[in-house]
Amino acid sequence: MSTTAHPDTVLIIDFGSQVTQLIARRVREAGVYSEIVPFQSAEEAFHRVKPKAVILSGGPASTTEIGSPRAPQVVFEAGIPVLGICYGEQTMCAQLGGKVEAGHHREFGRAFLEIEADSALFEGVWAKGTRHQVWMSHGDRVTALPDGFRIIGTSNGAPFAAIADEKRKFYAVQFHPEVVHTPDGAKLLQNFVHEIAGIKGDWTMAAYKEQAIEAIRRQVGKGRVICGLSGGVDSSVAAVLIHEAVGDQLTCIFVDHGLMRKNEAAEVVAMFREHYNIPLVHVDAADLFIGALEGESDPETKRKTIGRLFIEVFEAEAKKIGGADFLAQGTLYPDVIESVSFTGGPSVTIKSHHNVGGLPERMNMKLVEPLRELFKDEVRVLGKELGLPEHFIGRHPFPGPGLAIRCPGGITREKLDILREADAIYLDEIRKAGLYDAIWQAFAVLLPVQTVGVMGDGRTYEFVCALRAVTSVDGMTADFYHYDMEFLGRAATRIINEVKGINRVVYDVTSKPPGTIEWE
Ligand SMILES: Nc1ncnc2c1ncn2[C@@H]1O[C@H](COP(=O)(O)OP(=O)(O)OP(=O)(O)O)[C@@H](O)[C@H]1O
Ligand SMILES: O=c1[nH]c(=O)c2[nH+]cn([C@@H]3O[C@H](COP(=O)(O)O)[C@@H](O)[C@H]3O)c2[nH]1
Ligand SMILES: NC(=O)CC[C@H](N)C(=O)O
Ligand SMILES: [Mg+2]
């Protein structure tokens, strides 16, 4: 459920593509507010949002299968522009009288589009007769157009790779304009929202802030709110935003679950109290969390246990302050997307983020999640808008389940202590090398593997520590950070020399996808 209502919204109907959220990003980058809805609830959302334009996403299904998803027919009857992408093109054609065939012409990855006709979609970007790189990922293809459509671009595997019915303002492409591997794709999406749909592009974070504050006031009324505060960017921004909206109806709760990094608990509490006059309760719940996790090695069970305990602690603390009606969290859009089958969406669950899929089904408080529609970098802009100090805004993300998901397998206090030391040294070296801001997120992982080493002529049999560092914009996709070997050698030597319990260090060179950023 959206917290905002914007007069010029683009509604994105999600058929389960792994990159649907990138469509939203590109649209927002064009200064236009967009919302994503799963196709199952698209009809209801369409009537609620009254969008100025609709984009249909890609998806894993095939329109040739019985019962495959469709866009609500009203989308094509409302007289507004519609853009279909990949599955979106296929269902648009299937629904409007064209034909789709399950393919023998699969195209995955780089492909080239021949521009067959000038079009408003290509305005100022691609001219008739030119050829351009696009990104494809499809097995099916359109083989007959609905009435009113013409071809504006073709590729080897898809003769109908770009089509248009200019009169009805329906456009569709088989490639993915939302991904960076379609270098001009962002411009095409801009053309769609600005030129074709005629939306101005004046959506800004300042505007979002005002709308969000209004929405919080409406939702909360005179109720009491507690906010889970981790010291991370998201919950700090959420807390300050909610405080602007409802002032002293808000109390923040910092849960020290014993899974924090070295000195983190004390630093977070001191930093927040120094800058803000918002009541903050510091809960020491280390025994509770670690007791419940000991002996548990399944990643999803660990995550769900942590999610459940967070809520137990929040409920207990709420009682102590005389009850609370709302629980606020700094949940972001990627948290929601990656746990999305929990919320009934069409994509596959990758992992249950503790604050979304990890939540127990029955909870006494209602959720307030003002950042639920934003990406990390957008939250940072909102934080600036709210005047948060740079060191809050620039912090690397740290997952709610903390070090528990950086100790693959079962956790013990001893392992957590070893990991804490290694992680602190690694981050210290990163700061000393001036790399902290160039890296999106960096951390150490303690592997449940012991290896043989030799130290001071003696045999050692100790744990392996993996170092991870990634670059990213929003955490949805990431590349490993390309350190120079000198740096890695320096960090590894210090960790092995200074941390008892680790005798080997390795560097993780996996991007996301196929990896995820965290190891569990
Ligand atoms: N130790 C904690 N105590 C209280 N609430 C927490 C704690 N850890 C996480 N949360 C809650 O879960 C939400 C999601 O955690 P997440 O790590 O994604 O965000 P964050 O910690 O606010 O920011 P960042 O992603 O930059 O670390 C937080 O916004 C916060 O509401
Ligand atoms: O608050 C959180 N609760 C979680 O359960 C959780 N799991 C992963 N992360 C963080 O999300 C980003 C993407 O992580 P993954 O690539 O591992 O899914 C990275 O920044 C991760 O650190 C979490 N944050
Ligand atoms: N990426 C997509 O949307 C793919 C659409 C459809 N599943 C196909 O394979 O053609
Ligand atoms: Mg965090």
**Tell me, what's the pLDDT at 108?**
84
Q: Say which range, 62-66, 107-111, 339-343, has the weakest mean pLDDT.
A: 339-343
* 3-state secondary structure (DSSP) of residue 337: helix
Same fold, 9-196 and 205-393: yes
Ligand nearest to the CA of 310: 1
Hey, whose CA ends up nearest to atom 11 of ligand 1? 228
Indicate which residue's Cα is closest to atom 4 of ligand 1.
228
Residue whose CB lies within 8 A of the most ligand 3 atoms, among 55, 90, 91, 182, for a mutation test: 90
Cβ-proximal residues to 172 (8 Å cutoff; 6+ apart), any chain: 83, 84, 85, 88, 89, 92, 93, 142, 162, 163, 164
Lowest mean pLDDT among 2-16, 223-237, 266-280, 378-392: 2-16
**What is the CATH code of the structural domain delimited by 205-393?**
3.40.50.620
Which residues fall within 8 angstroms of residue 336, CB to CB, at 6 or more apart? 343, 356, 372
Question: CA–CA separation, 361 vs 358, rounded Å?
Answer: 9
The stretch 58-72 carries a mean pLDDT of 96
Mean pLDDT of 390-401: 92
User: Each residue of 346-371: pLDDT tens digit?
Assistant: 566 667 776 665 555 567 789 999 99
pLDDT at 195: 97
Q: Catalytic residue, from 6, 132, 138, 176: name it.
A: 176
Mean pLDDT for the chain overall: 92
CA of 233 to the centre of ligand 1 (A): 8
Binding residues: 230-236
Q: How far is ligand 4, taken at its centre, from the CA of residue 408, in Å?
A: 19
Q: Which of 89, 178, 317, 520 is catalytic?
A: 178
**Per-residue pLDDT reduced to its tens digit, 313-334:** 999 999 999 999 999 999 888 7
The CATH architecture that domain 412-507 belongs to is: 2-Layer Sandwich (3.30)
Q: What pLDDT is recorded for position 349? A: 64
The alpha carbon of 48 and the centre of ligand 4 are apart by a number of angstroms equal to 33
Ligand 3 atom 5: residue of nearest CA: 87
Asked if 81 and 171 touch (Cβ cutoff 8 Å), the reply is yes
Token look-up 């998201």 returns 234
- Looking at residue 336, its pLDDT comes to 72
Please enumerate, by residue number, every residue annotated as part of a binding site for ATP: 230-236
Structure tokens at 309: 């305990």
Active-site position among 6, 35, 86, 429: 86
101: annotated active-site residue: no
Q: Which ligand is nearest to the CA of 227?
A: 1
Q: Which residue has the higher pLDDT, 391 or 287?
A: 287
Q: 3-class SS at 250? A: strand
CA of 125 to the centre of ligand 4 (A): 40
- Could you tell me the pLDDT band of residue 1, with boundaries at 50, 70 and 90? very low
3-class secondary-structure state, position 107? strand
Atom of ligand 2 nearest to the CA of 472: 20
Gyration radius from the chain CA atoms: 25
The pair of structure tokens assigned to 442 is: 């960096």
> Mean per-residue pLDDT for 450-467?
96
Residues with CB under 6 A from ligand 1: 228-230, 232-235, 253-255, 257, 329-331, 335, 355, 395, 397-400
Q: Is 275 a catalytic residue?
A: no
Residues with Cβ within 8 Å of 426's Cβ and at least 6 positions away in sequence, in order, are: 442, 443, 444, 467, 491, 495
State which of 23, 140, 142, 179 you would mutate to test the pocket of ligand 3, scoring each by most atoms of that ligand within 8 A of its C-beta. Answer: 140
Per the annotation, the verdict on 176 as an active-site residue is yes
Which alpha helices (H) appear in 321-412, and where do they start and end? 333-338, 376-385, 390-393
ipTM: 0.89
Question: For a pocket test of ligand 2, which of 353, 441, 508 has the largest count of ligand atoms closer than 8 A to its C-beta?
Answer: 353
CATH of 9-196, one of 3.40.50.880, 1.10.10.10, 3.40.30.10, 2.40.50.140: 3.40.50.880
Burial of 508 (0-12, 13-18, 19+ CB in 10 A): middle
Q: Measured from the CA of 396, which atom of ligand 2 is nearest?
A: 20
Higher pLDDT, 101 or 475: 101
- Structural domain spans, the chain: 9-196, 205-393, 412-507
Ligand 2 atom at shortest distance from the alpha carbon of 520: 17
> Which ligand 3 atom is at minimum distance from the Cα of 60?
7
β-sheet bridge partners, residue 444: 467
- Residue 103: pLDDT above 60? yes
Residue 401 CA, ligand 2 centroid: distance in Å: 9
The structure's pTM equals: 0.78
Per cent of the chain over pLDDT 90 is: 81
Tokens describing residue 48: 């609620």
Among protein residues, the one whose CA lies closest to atom 4 of ligand 2 = 353
Q: Give pLDDT, residue 3.
A: 45
Type of residue found at 284:
D
pLDDT confidence band for 343 (50 / 70 / 90): very low
